[in-house]
Chains A and B, each alone.
Chain A
Amino acid sequence: MLDYITSFLGMNTTPGQAGNVFWAVVYIFVVFGGVSVAVVAMNWLERKALAHFQVRLGPMRVGPHGLLQPIADAVKLLTKEDIIPEEADRFVFWIAPLIILCASFTVYIVIPFGPTHAITDLNIGILFMLGVSSLSVLGVVMAGWASNSHYPLIGSLRSSAQMISYEIAMGMAVVSAILMTSLNKSGTGTLSMIGIVEAQEQQQIWFLFKFFPLGFIAFAIFAIAMVAETNRAPFDLPEAESELTAGFHTEYSGLRWSLFMLGEYAAMIAVSSIAVTLWLGGWLRPFPNTLTGETWDLVFSLLPGLTFLALAAIAFVGVIRMPKHPYFRIQTAGLAGFGAVLGLIGLVLFVPPVRDRIQDIFWFIAKVAVFMYLYIWYRATFPRYRFDQLMKVGWKVLLPTAIGVLILTAILGIVL
């Protein structure tokens, strides 16, 4: 038994490929738990960052700097009355949020956080990912239909039209990146998520810069389409608050509503992961070909720890700036404790064996975090597109450009 469990560690591959069920289950729990925590953290970060964009403070009351706000929200949502409208189709109404949730969580099976840090490595990974993530449109349609109400119906129709049209441009952009993987010496391309990153490692270039500006345009198309795909501002028409009150989930409340939100944020992280994997070199550290050598390797391997130490430092600055009033004693202590935990994590990350294993995960998450920040930034800056304009952008701008990029990439791949 122990052999079975430990046998995986020496294999240097993903548990799915190794056929090691125990480690696969462990990975699934770690990844899904991590994603759930990331969603909660993202919730807090979004509210906080958005507030600072908008000259306000955001959550400040629950815990130091509102750090416990997501937990308070979760408790509120879980204890809230769960309303199912009388005229709703109960079964469909019940199952719609689950479909969205499943669709957006299942894709994490193939996301490579590192060369061996994935639950499994499917040879059709990217295809699997696109396919499963587009299943969530089914949940949206079902939610809108089952509510048996006007606003959700319009919201869900908009949503399905939008997701389907942007998926095409998105797919074209993805294909052009996949074409680039076949430009190695053996000339065989791959659809595997790990294979795509390894191709970038072999070719010594992130696909973002490959055939400049072709890779960049494909990436830009994907970056736009993925915002539309996840129904986020400025493409948040399906849930346009000011028009459709809340779009397809108007009739949902409490736990079911929170499942929608959980699914939405998980989907955001998932599509950002695709973008990072395809164009930004996945788990590869920045400047792999210019800043090479032992010294630079060491410097980059220290960065994860330093990041956590910096976060701890921010927390401690917050502790110093806390009002010196007995009322804030618990909050101050809590923030200090949070800072201490972050600092401790930072110190652990300096230990060489941990350092070596955690690096790729760190770079992957850091790149995804940039996308998450962009999502918030978009939301603070842009007005919302109108439905016909959205379709125009999708079909008349993004799709032709994506096809053009695809053709040019193919030609360049043959010529060069």
Chain B
Amino acid sequence: MGDQITKDPYISHLELGEPDKTFLDSNELIINMGPQHPATHGVLRVILKLDGEKVLGTECVIGYLHRGVEKIAENRTYTMFNPYVDRMDYVAAVSNGLGYCEAVEKLLNVEAPPRAKYIRVILTELNRLASHMLWLGTHALDIGAMTPLFYTFRDREEILKIFEKYCGARLTTHAFRIGGCQYETYEGFERDVKKFLDCVPPRIDEYEELLTTNRIWVERTRNVGKISAADCKALGVTGPVLRASGVKWDIRKAQPYAAYPEFEFEIPTGANGDTYDRYMVRMREMRQSLRIIRQAVERIPEGPIMAKVPKVMKPAVGEVYHSIEAPKGELGYFIVSDGSTQPYRVRVRPPSFVNLQALDVMVRGQLVADVIAVIGTLDIVLGEVDR
């Protein structure tokens, strides 16, 4: 058995000595976590080098969910590629769509009308809440608290219902079009959203009651998977992980897009960069999202929802990079146009993929159980990592 696993080409990075005849005789233990493992959030394979329970090194093997999304883009028109981006980060499909639409709009020199921008903000922030709720549920489940999962899924359901009423789809919504939105808000949209806004804060209190001051939760997360601001910057880590390390960087504020400049909200930051801080940052972000949605729903302007966009899109030769603050971090689209109806190249900068790099830094020297906690706190979606 020891032979089989050490023949794996991925293991060479771990600098193993000569493999022993049986793994029980050796001090160092190689464990293959995933691709089928309940806590790797999909098909992530992590090879762990262990000394007892202590982690000496990790090696992530990705690509089990690779679908060639970027290559597909080169054979589709700009409009046809729009639904594909939803399949990358499937728990935050609206954000993906927003990033892509805005990137193409930038390339076309089109701007969405104000009402469309407001609708975009409302749906994107609802999606951020849904994504964070899913993160919280699964993260807590990984650490052993199974009940928050069901509470967060109950509340996420309300968001998905709003999506379903708005555009007919729950998960891969394809809610936005290049140049605005396809659909006008449905009758009672504002009422539904307001009702949701009223019922969610006590629910978030409920999650916090279960976890925030729970001794076991605090012990399991505090000083676990620490990462410094410098390391974050060096690795290109963004999103709540970066903010928990104390860097006040949020693209919604730094490079505002959609209607974000018109809303008041704070950027929650942490101090230690440990798992507990990341938990707190995300919890506070959920409340900030509620604040943004409330402002947007109250001030949503009337007007058209679609800008004038040519039926056949042929952007001028050139390239554009546009990034948005997805729930998991900076989601960027780099699109190169050769003047035809199809993009010459689309490159996605997925937050999950970049953040996953930090795994090794965060878990080295810690225990096996912390690897699970850290994978959870990084909030990765394998569809986005592999694309």
Contact = CB atoms under 8 A, between A and B. Distances in A.
B71 to A, nearest CB: 34
A155 to B, nearest CB: 11
A383 B216 contact: yes
A245 B147 CA distance: 19
Contacts of B217: 383
B59 to A, nearest CB: 16
Among A150, A158, A233, A385, find the residue whose CB has the most chain B CB atoms closer than 10 A: A150
Nearest to A392: B219
B16 to A, nearest CB: 15
A384 B143 contact: yes
Could you tell me the dominant secondary structure of chain B's interface residues? helix
B275 to A, nearest CB: 12
A148 B1 contact: yes
Contacts of B216: 234, 382-385, 389
Contacts of A148: 1
B378 interface: no
A236 B147 contact: no
A134 to B, nearest CB: 23
Contact of A386 (B32, B147, B149, B219): B219
B219 A242 contact: no
B367 interface: yes
A380 B147 contact: yes
A242 B367 contact: no
Q: Number of contact residues on A: which range applies?
A: 20 to 34
B39 interface: yes
Contacts of A384: 143-145, 216, 220, 369
Contact of A56 (B23, B39, B150, B372): B150
Contacts of A54: 146-147, 149-151
B154 interface: yes
B142 interface: yes
Interface in B122-154: 140-147, 149-151, 154
Given A150-B23, A383-B217, A384-B220, A243 B147 contact: no
B367 A386 contact: yes
Interface residues of B, number: 34
B31 A383 contact: no
A382 B144 CA distance: 7
Contacts of A149: 1
A241 B38 CA distance: 7
A81 interface: no
Interface string A173-210: 00000000000000000000000000000000000000
A53 interface: yes
Contacts of A233: 144
Given A382-B144, A384-B143, A386-B367, A242 B38 contact: yes
B25 to A, nearest CB: 13
A389 B147 contact: no
B144 A242 contact: yes
Interface string A371-400: 000000001111111111100000000000
A87 B24 CA distance: 14
A154 interface: yes
Give the one of B149, B210, B211, B368 with max A CB within 10 A.
Answer: B368
A240 interface: yes
A55 interface: yes
B29 A381 contact: no
Interface centre among A148, A234, A386, A387 (most CB of B within 10 A): A386
A386 B140 contact: no
A233 B214 CA distance: 14
Chain B CB within 10 A, most for which of A153, A154, A242, A379: A242
Contacts of A389: 216, 219-220
Interface string B78-109: 00000000000000000000000000000000
A54 B32 CA distance: 32
B195 interface: no
Nearest to B142: A242
A242 B141 contact: yes
B347 interface: no
Interface in B350-387: 367-370, 372
Contacts of A153: 24
Contacts of B146: 54, 379-380
Contacts of B37: 245
Contacts of B141: 242
6 contacts: A233-B144, A382-B216, A383-B143, A386-B219, A386-B369, A388-B53
Interface of B: 1, 23-24, 29, 31-32, 37-39, 53, 140-147, 149-151, 154, 210-211, 214, 216-217, 219-220, 367-370, 372
